[in-house]
């Protein structure tokens, strides 16, 4: 049973009289990691939020292969800056399990295991707010992955982190991918896109300029805009 593909049909998001996304059509397949690449302001976050259902489009539809309520239970979202609640790390990771009906004991045991996997065992009883930036993002990832989602959306999850935290997080993501979680990640970081992507959707000014296998994209994108972005020119 799979919730993919996800199909976006004629999606448009207008804010303050301006079209910030679309119209775009996109099919997210049940295959390797999809990276949504583009400069700041291109509409990457908006696109991911529409996919996950936390931004309502002005026009168009998003369709999963199963009813929405079912699809909602099999996906998670990691924000650029983690949202913090006044909970301990362990409670935070256990929460998605308890709301899905696990007993507190089962949820805590699984959460402890998940914290171990991301290297945060020693911090399980600390409040999330006292953790470092990298630790907070690893905690957000542990929480997102604890339910073994079929699809994980990530909005520039390492944009404000140092190299070491970035490497650790990418290793956690690679592990999740190899265990059956489809990654859909927004980034403006070319190096990260090269390391992670199987497929690139290149976004500029709210439009999908190219959507192609990563190997083709990096071998030579079709559009001048993507070529310029790849060369490191400032594209807007």
Ligand X SMILES: Nc1ncnc2c1ncn2[C@@H]1O[C@H](COP(=O)(O)OP(=O)(O)O)[C@@H](O)[C@H]1O
Interface residues with Mg ion (CB under 5 A)? 44-45
Residue among 37 and 118 whose Cβ is closer to Mg ion? 37
Site map 43..82 versus ligand X, x via CB under 6 A: xxxx------------------------------------
Residue among 89 and 193 whose Cβ is closer to ligand X? 193
Whether residue 193 contacts residue 44, with contact meaning beta carbons closer than 8 Å, is answered with no
Whether residue 81 contacts residue 39, with contact meaning beta carbons closer than 8 Å, is answered with no
How far is residue 21's CA from residue 11's CA, in Å, rounded to a whole number?
8
Q: Segment contacting ligand X (CB under 6 A): 14-22, 105-113, 125-133, 212-220?
A: 14-22
How far is residue 171's CA from residue 184's CA, in Å, rounded to a whole number?
15
Q: Taking the complex as a whole, how short is the minimal distance between the CB of residue 4 and Mg ion, in angstroms? A: 23
- The pairing of beta strand 75-78 with beta strand 18-28: unpaired
Whether residue 156 contacts residue 77, with contact meaning beta carbons closer than 8 Å, is answered with no
Query: Could you tell me how many residues of this chain bind ligand X (CB under 6 A)?
Result: 11
Nearest residue to Mg ion by CB is: 45
Whether residue 72 contacts residue 99, with contact meaning beta carbons closer than 8 Å, is answered with no
How far is residue 129's CA from residue 163's CA, in Å, rounded to a whole number?
22
Q: Which of residues 21-50 bind ligand X (CB under 6 A)?
A: 38, 40-46
Q: What is the DSSP letter of 179?
A: T
Measured CA distances, 198 to 14, 121, 151, 222 (Å): 30, 32, 15, 17
Residue among 18 and 179 whose Cβ is closer to ligand X? 18
Using CB under 6 A as the binding rule, whether residue 16 contacts ligand X is answered as yes
Indicate the SS3 state at residue 44: helix
Residue among 53 and 119 whose Cβ is closer to ligand X? 53
Whether residue 50 contacts residue 57, with contact meaning beta carbons closer than 8 Å, is answered with yes
Q: Taking the complex as a whole, how short is the minimal distance between the CB of residue 156 and ligand X, in angstroms? A: 7
The interface partner of residue 165, options being Mg ion, ligand X, none and the CB cut-off 5 to 8 Å by kind, is none
Q: Taking the complex as a whole, how short is the minimal distance between the CB of residue 231 and ligand X, in angstroms? A: 19
Q: Taking the complex as a whole, how short is the minimal distance between the CB of residue 46 and ligand X, in angstroms? A: 3
Q: Which residues bind ligand X (CB under 6 A)?
A: 15-16, 20, 38, 40-46
């Amino acid at each position: 049973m799979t919730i993919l593909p996800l199909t976006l049909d004629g999606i448009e998001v207008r804010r303050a009289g301006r079209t910030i996304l679309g119209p775009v059509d996109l099919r997210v397949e049940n295959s390797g990691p999809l990276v949504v690449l583009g400069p700041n302001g291109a509409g990457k976050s908006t696109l991911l939020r529409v996919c996950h259902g936390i931004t309502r489009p002005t026009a168009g539809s998003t369709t999963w292969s199963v009813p929405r309520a079912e699809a909602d239970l099999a996906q998670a979202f990691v924000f650029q800056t983690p949202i913090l609640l006044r909970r301990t790390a362990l409670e935070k990771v256990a929460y998605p399990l308890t709301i899905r009906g696990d007993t507190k004991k089962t949820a805590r045991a699984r959460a402890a295991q998940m914290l171990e996997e991301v290297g945060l065992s020693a911090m399980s009883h600390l409040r999330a707010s006292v953790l470092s930036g990298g630790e907070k993002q690893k905690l957000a990832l542990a929480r997102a992955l604890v339910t073994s989602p079929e699809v994980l959306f990530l909005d520039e999850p390492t944009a404000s982190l140092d190299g070491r935290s970035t490497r650790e997080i990418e290793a956690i993501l690679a592990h999740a991918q190899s265990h059956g979680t489809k990654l859909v990640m927004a980034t403006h970081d070319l190096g990260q896109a090269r390391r992670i992507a199987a497929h690139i959707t290149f976004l500029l000014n709210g439009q999908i300029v190219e959507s192609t296998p990563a190997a083709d994209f990096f071998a030579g994108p079709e559009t001048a805009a993507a070529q310029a972005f790849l060369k490191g020119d400032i594209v807007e």
